[in-house]
Amino acid sequence: MSLNELKLYEALAKLIGVEGGVWQLTSSGAESTTQVVFAHYFQEARLEGKNQFIMRECFLEKLSCVVKQPQADLSSIITARTALISLEIADSFSGVLIPWELTAALCCEKKIPLHVDVTEAIGFMPISLQADYISFDASKLGVVGLGALWSKNQVRPLIYGQRFFNDILVKELFNNVQKVLENISSKSLEIARLRKHFEQVSESLGAHILGKDLPRVPHKSYLAFDKIHPNALAFYLQEEGIECIEGPQGVSFSISEDFNPDIKQAVSFLREVSKDL
C-alpha cells in the first residue's frame, strides 16, 4: 500500500464515519459491489447453500442463486438461506434514504451481512451507518475511474495479484475528500436551501415532489406533472441544456451549488401541446 493510498483511506474513514476495518481501491463502485457479492457466493452460496441475495441487480441467477428485489419490509423476504443484503443508501431518482438504523438492526438480529453503496450520498451529507461493507464510486467526488470498498474484515478478492492505480487519481481523490471534509455541513445546508427554493417554484407550476415528506439526500429533487410525460419533459429540458434524468414517475434533478434552472417555459409549452389529449 502506497503512502498516498494510506492517507486517502484515513480521509475516507472520516468521511463515512468508520473505524478500523479493511480498505481497498477498485476501478468503480460497480466493481466494489461485485467483489462483495462474489465473496458471498463462493463462501456461502457454494459452500453452505445460502443462495438467496437481496439486491437490485445481480448476475447470480445464472449460477442457481435466488435474487430478491429489496422492499420496504425486508423481514418478509429474508429466509434462512439469505447470504447477503446489498442496498443503495438512497433512491437514485428521489434521493429517499433507506432506514439505516432499522436495516442494520434487522441484519444484526438475523446475522446477515449488510452491504451499502453510499455513492448517492457521499460528499453531500455526513454519513454514519453500521454495515459490514460500505462502497462508493468516486465519480461523485469528482474522480472518474476509481471506487472504494470498506469492509469489517478481509474480503475474498475479485482480482488476484497486486493491483496498481494511477497515483495522480489517488492524489486527486484525496485532495477532493479533504475539501469535502472541510465544508460538508455548510455545503449540505446550502444545497438543501437551493432545493427548497427550486421545489417551491416547481410546486407553483403544479409539480408533485416525489418523496418530499421522507428523509432524503439534500441534492436530489424528483418532480412529476399531471398530463406531462416524464420523457417529454426530460427531453425538452436536456435540449435546453438543463441536466436531468427521466425516471419511471417523473424527472430527477441533482442540485449543485450553482443550480438555477428555469423549467417554467418547458412546463407551459408541454401543457399547451397536450391540453387536448
- Tell me the mean pLDDT in the region 11-26: 94
Encode 203-219 in three state secondary structure: HHCCEEECCCCCCECCC
Q: Can you tell me the distance from the alpha carbon of 77 to that of 70, in angstroms, rounded to the nearest whole number?
A: 8
Rounded mean pLDDT of the chain?
A: 92
The CATH classification number of 3-181 equals: 3.40.640.10
SS3 assignment, position 149: strand
Q: Where in the chain is the domain with CATH 3.40.640.10?
A: 3-181
Topology classification of domain 184-273? Aspartate Aminotransferase, domain 1 (3.90.1150)
d(CA 262, CA 264): 6
Report the C-alpha gap between 201 and 206 in whole angstroms: 9
Q: State which amino acid sits at residue 137.
A: D
Phi, psi (deg, nearest 5) at residue 107: -65, -40
**Beta carbons within 10 angstroms of residue 214's beta carbon:** 12
pLDDT in tens, 170-183: 999 999 999 999 99
Residue 276 pLDDT: 61
Q: Are 24 and 8 in contact, with CB atoms under 8 Å apart?
A: no
pLDDT score recorded for residue 169: 93
* DSSP helix/strand/coil, 275: coil
Q: How confident is the model at residue 1 (pLDDT cuts 50, 70, 90)?
A: low
Please name the residues in contact with 168: beta carbons below 8 A apart, sequence gap of 6 or more: none
Quick check: 190 and 257 in contact, CB under 8 A? yes
Q: Which helix (H) or strand (E) holds 4?
A: helix 3-16
Locate the DSSP E strands across the chain.
22-26, 52-54, 66-68, 82-88, 114-117, 133-137, 147-151, 207-209, 220-225, 245-246, 251-254
Confidence of residue 72 (pLDDT cuts 50, 70, 90): confident
Q: Please, what is the end-to-end C-alpha distance for the chain in angstroms?
A: 62
- Residue 159, pLDDT score: 79
Q: CATH 3.90.1150.10 spans which residues of the chain?
A: 184-273
Give the number of other CB atoms < 10 A from CB of residue 71. Answer: 9
pLDDT (average), residues 250-273 = 91
Contact 122, 142 (CB under 8 A): no
pLDDT digits 0-9 by tens, 224-257: 999 899 999 999 999 999 999 999 999 999 998 8
The pLDDT tens digits of the residues spanning 101-136 come to 899 999 999 999 999 999 999 999 989 889 999 999
CA distance 11 to 181: 8
Look up residue 76 and give its amino acid.
Answer: S
Task: Please spell the DSSP secondary structure of 252-266, one letter per residue.
Answer: EEE--TT-----HHH
Which three cell numbers, joined as nine digits, stand for 173? 481523490
